[in-house]
């Protein structure tokens, strides 16, 4: 499979006050982003996600290591023309309207005026701002700014879209809309590389992920392989009568009046619970299998005290 991004042994440090100390942010980061996938770059605050993305886009220079973006070494101007980037906290000229911002940025890419007008209109519609193009950005909400930020990242029709915390600060509706927009980009053949610490969103849309901890990648690969397919336990909800005996091999999580929620750890115990429920003519309300989640995988990587 072709690679959109390849990073090997990336290192970056910053000097402290008066250069008396050195803060190592990236410590040999290595990862590979295939073309045409949604790739989640995950980690807690301060792990080095934003620093990595800035190096990829040429906004920072590494101390060492090697990066390849869209088949070329380094983030040259020619490569940056094929990249769309949305920073975590974008700053726009707030006296511009949404349409004026896209027009301004499009002219920087040399897009012809006639083509730019049509492209801006299509982008505003695609991000849900078709009726807000004439509104000044200072009047935009947080969610609207994220949407116009995504639109500006797409103005040059990029092959690779890099998004830094694109759902941060959005309400549930805004997060859902942003996820849908990212999925739509993949459907159009784009590669999306985004950082996040909101694991549920990443799990719902990512093909592959890398987990960054203290400047090092501790897990990387296709999400389905990292999580596996085995069921860890089942939650069983029953409506029971008096005298119902809870079979061995399960534990009671919640019991209220005639309803009980059981945690069952293995398949044999599950069969016993269901057989006992049928024999006692209890109502089987739900049997919910639970597989390992991205949150489980993430928490298992936390160092020392934070994992406890």
Last residue of a domain, one of 185, 205, 227: 227
Q: Spell out the per-residue pLDDT of the chain, length 308, in tens.
A: 789 999 999 999 998 776 677 889 999 999 999 999 999 999 998 899 999 999 999 999 999 999 999 988 877 788 889 999 999 888 899 999 999 999 999 999 999 988 999 999 999 998 989 899 999 999 998 888 989 999 999 999 999 999 999 987 788 888 898 899 999 999 999 999 999 988 988 999 999 999 999 999 999 999 989 988 778 888 999 998 877 888 888 888 988 888 889 999 888 889 988 998 898 888 999 998 888 889 888 988 887 545 44
Which CATH number goes with the domain that contains 128?
A: 3.40.50.300
Cα-based distances in Å from 123 to 13, 52, 127, 128, 272 = 38, 27, 6, 9, 56
Same domain, 150 and 262: no
Q: Is residue 238 part of a domain?
A: yes
Whether pTM exceeds 0.95 = no
Same domain, 53 and 111: yes
Q: What is the pLDDT of residue 307?
A: 47
- Spatial CB neighbours of 116, under 8 Å, sequence gap ≥ 6: 102, 103, 106, 107
Same domain, 152 and 245: no
Question: How wide is the angle at C-alpha 101 spanned by C-alphas 96 and 102, nearest 5°?
Answer: 155
Q: What is the pLDDT of residue 257?
A: 81
Q: Provide the pairing of β-strand 208-213 with 216-222.
A: antiparallel
Last residue of a domain, one of 227, 248, 274: 227
Same domain, 124 and 252: no
Q: Under a CB-based contact definition with an 8 Å cutoff, are residues 24 and 1 in contact?
A: no
Sequence-distant contacts of 128-132: CB under 8 A, at least 24 apart: 128/177, 129/98, 132/98
Cα–Cα nearest to 287, from 306, 263, 305, 254: 263
Q: Is residue 307 part of a domain?
A: no
Q: What is the pLDDT of residue 304?
A: 57
Q: Is residue 36 part of a domain?
A: yes
Same domain, 124 and 25: yes
Which CATH number goes with the domain that contains 247?
A: 3.30.70
Q: Is residue 300 part of a domain?
A: no
What tokens does 188 get?
Answer: 């159009």
Same domain, 135 and 158: yes
What does the alpha-carbon distance between residue 16 and residue 23 come to, in Å, rounded to a whole number? 7
Same domain, 82 and 216: yes
Q: Is residue 305 part of a domain?
A: no
Domain span at 81: 3-227
Same domain, 284 and 212: no
What tokens does 77 get?
Answer: 């101007």
Domains in the chain, number: 2
Same domain, 33 and 119: yes
Same domain, 195 and 242: no
Same domain, 278 and 144: no
Q: Is residue 304 part of a domain?
A: no
Same domain, 130 and 275: no
Q: Is residue 144 part of a domain?
A: yes
Q: Is residue 33 part of a domain?
A: yes
- Spatial CB neighbours of 2, under 8 Å, sequence gap ≥ 6: 34, 35
Cα-based distances in Å from 204 to 83, 224, 292 = 24, 11, 14
Q: Under a CB-based contact definition with an 8 Å cutoff, are residues 36 and 222 in contact?
A: no
């Amino acid at each position: 499979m072709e690679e959109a991004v390849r990073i090997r042994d990336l290192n970056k440090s910053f000097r402290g006050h008066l250069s008396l100390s050195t803060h190592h942010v990236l410590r040999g980061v290595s990862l590979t982003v295939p073309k045409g996938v949604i790739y989640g770059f995950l980690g807690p605050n301060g792990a080095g996600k934003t620093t990595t993305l800035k190096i990829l886009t040429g906004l920072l220079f590494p101390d060492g290591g090697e990066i390849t973006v869209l088949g070329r070494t380094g983030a040259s101007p020619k490569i940056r023309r094929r990249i769309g980037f949305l920073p975590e906290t974008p700053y726009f000229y707030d006296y511009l309207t949404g349409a004026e911002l896209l027009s301004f940025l499009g002219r920087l890419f040399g897009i012809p005026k006639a083509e730019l007008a049509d492209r801006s209109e299509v982008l505003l519609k695609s991000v849900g701002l078709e009726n807000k193009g004439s509104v000044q950005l200072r009047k935009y909400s947080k969610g609207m700014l994220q949407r116009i930020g995504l639109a500006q990242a797409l103005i040059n029709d990029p092959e690779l879209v890099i998004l830094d915390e694109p759902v941060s600060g959005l309400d549930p509706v805004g997060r859902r809309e942003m996820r849908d927009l990212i999925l739509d980009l993949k459907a159009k053949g784009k590669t999306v590389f985004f950082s996040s610490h909101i694991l549920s969103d990443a799990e719902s849309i990512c093909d592959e992920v890398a987990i960054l901890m203290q400047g090092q990648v501790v897990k990387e690969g296709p999400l389905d392989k990292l999580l596996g397919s085995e069921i860890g336990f089942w939650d069983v909800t029953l409506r029971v009568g008096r005298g119902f005996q809870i079979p061995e091999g399960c534990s009671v999580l919640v019991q209220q009046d005639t309803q009980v929620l059981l945690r069952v750890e293995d398949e044999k115990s599950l069969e016993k619970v269901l057989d006992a429920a049928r024999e006692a003519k209890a109502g089987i309300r739900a049997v919910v299998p639970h597989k390992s989640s991205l949150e489980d995988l993430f928490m298992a990587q936390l160092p020392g005290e934070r994992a406890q």
